[in-house]
Amino acid sequence: MNELAPKDALIVDKIYRVRNMQVMLDFDLAELYGVETRTLKQQVRRNIDRFPEDFLFELTSEEWDSLRSQFVILKNVGRGQHSKYLPFAFTEQGVAMLSSVLRSKQAIEINIKIMRIFVKMRKLIASNLEILEKIEKLEAENAGQNVQIATIYEVIKELIEPTYKNRKQIGFKRNK
């Protein structure tokens, strides 16, 4: 399976998890596309019918504060970090839809790269989930064996160090 290439890291670092979805923020996309954030938002607002809620949503103040507290965001935001508007978050489908709104050659090339990275990330996540499921299955199967092994260990320990030291002796006693 193809791992994510180091050259893809620039884009991967701009993908965040918000509301259990992988999203990219408007200012990061604007930077990648080589346009101003306000231009990108303006184009989106002019074509808002193309962006239903599962394609695009505006972050809440709490979500934005949470993301801004992360080191990566602070580094990436730059001049736009004090914008009076909350950023737009684009899901994978929203990013794909941006290609119909922003038509520059750079926007098209970047859009293709982003789509490929989303696909690679989905494949990586799926393979990691498969491995996790296999590990959990092995742990579940071994749980019963662990109990049996512990029982065997206790029996062996009893044979090596009998616990009948405090038992009442039986048999004949010799008087001294």
Q: Which two tokens stand for residue 58?
A: 């505006």
**pLDDT of 144-176, one tens digit each?**
677 777 788 787 777 776 665 566 666 677 776
Where does the chain have alpha helices with state H? 9-12, 26-33, 37-46, 61-68, 71-77, 92-101, 105-160
Helix (H, G, I), strand (E, B) or coil at 19: coil
Angle at 90 between CA 82 and CA 1, to 5 degrees: 120
Phi, psi of 39 (to 5 degrees): -65, -45
Average pLDDT, the chain: 79
pLDDT in tens, 74-92: 444 544 445 678 999 999 8
* Model pTM score: 0.62
